[in-house]
Structure 1
Amino acid sequence: MGSNASDRPIIGISTYVEAASWGVWHREAALLPTTYVDAVHRSGGFPVLLPVLPGEPDLSAVDGLVLAGGADIDPARYGGRPHAELGPTRPPRDGWEIRLLRAALDRDLPVLGVCRGAQIMNVALGGTLHQHLPDLVVHRDHQPEPAVFGSTKVELSPGSRIAEILGDHVEVPCYHHQAIAEIAPRLAVTGRAGDGTVEAVELAGARFALGVQWHPEEDAADDRLFVALAAAAKEVRGDHRA
């Protein structure tokens, strides 16, 4: 893809809402790890950050969407009660990202959900979450310790969109203590870890709507998911210009 920004599809990326420090300041901020920005840019997209806002999102200027990782989702969103190991939640962000997803799907924009983003996809479409995965798998390999990524081997369903991109097997960086439980009616599970954890989902009939439980932005040597997202978003950009 060309280096000119006007040739690149615009990829919106949802942002965290966290207390952050920079310089002499310690304030609430809309922030995002630069690994997401770098991955989108390396893959041919033009990254634009989408902060949490009230009301309905206007995605008319966006060609694709990344739902980024982050805090645990409020279990009230799927009718659950808080688990003792539930981490801090960000309910306004939950609501905003659900609205982002619905707006993107209404326009058939390409969507990539990353970790929490895959969980948002499932919850928004009617699914539920396991609030603390170690209760089920009796290990902590998916989140070895604070701020340390684990490594997970994932088997992908032959013939699925994600297998077309990555092949039938992949080893990926991960960091999560929650996971998809009951799958949403419109989603299909297309990847699992060896312990049965749902690792990939996709929405049939959509131009491009994939969710992965891992963190592809953390592997700078493998941008294939972001390249596929940018390619699908470039089709949307072409449609806009036609």
Structure 2
Amino acid sequence: SETRNFDGTVVVIFQPAEEGGGGGKEMCDDGMMARWGIQEVYGMHNWPGLPTGSFAIREGSFFAATDLFEVTITGRGGHGAKPQETIDPTVTAAQVITMLQTIASRNVDPVENIVVSVTSIESSSKAFNVIPQSVHLKGTVRTLSNAVHDLAESRFKAICEQASAAMGCMADVQYQRNYPVMVNHPEQTAFAAEVAKAVSGDCDDAPLVMGGEDFAFMLEERPGAYILVGNGDGASVHHPEYNFNDEAIPAGCSWLAEVVERRLPAAG
């Protein structure tokens, strides 16, 4: 806005609930794109490990689809000294957890990308000598294509339900599709990289990221691109010792300004 060296309208999106809250989807569902006449969208993420002020981007699938799951496996509890009188959900849960890894190793093409992580295991018993009535699992599934996304959900549910049934237990599976795959559009990605090179002299090819990003919802509605700006060496994002590097601000702001001035050039 300092130079006004552009002709058109720039919409600055102040999005709530970015981490886990799905604010991007809520804004899209609320009609943001049509309401403000948005034709393209561009976003940026600070990225530790990249040299300060440098850039990296990739065309196509970039950040993973992030699914969440909760599974309750119910059997018949009892005394730990009399397992024959129980239907042990703990042993069943162990089987399920192991079998879920076959989605990646046996169901998905080895050249594709998928992560299946069980991150929490809790039982209804806290005693040393009681086999619990139920075991509760939580975790996440990450994929980078719609086909693998569909396959992963289908196999996940089948494994949980059928493996539990084989052991005499019941499985209640809650599988939530959270963020979709974030896909950078070809033309806008090439443009974003060109601008990055003008600002910093270079733009690296970014690796695939198995983390999620709800900017994906905006890229489903409008063409655009998402780029990484380097934070230098230091702790990764979501780490308690992460520290934003203020020296990355000039490069990031220059990139945003240059995107506007090149995409909406001043008349005459």
What TM-score results when the alignment is normalised by the length of structure 1?
Answer: 0.31
Query: Hey, which of these two has a bigger chunk of helix by percent?
Result: 2
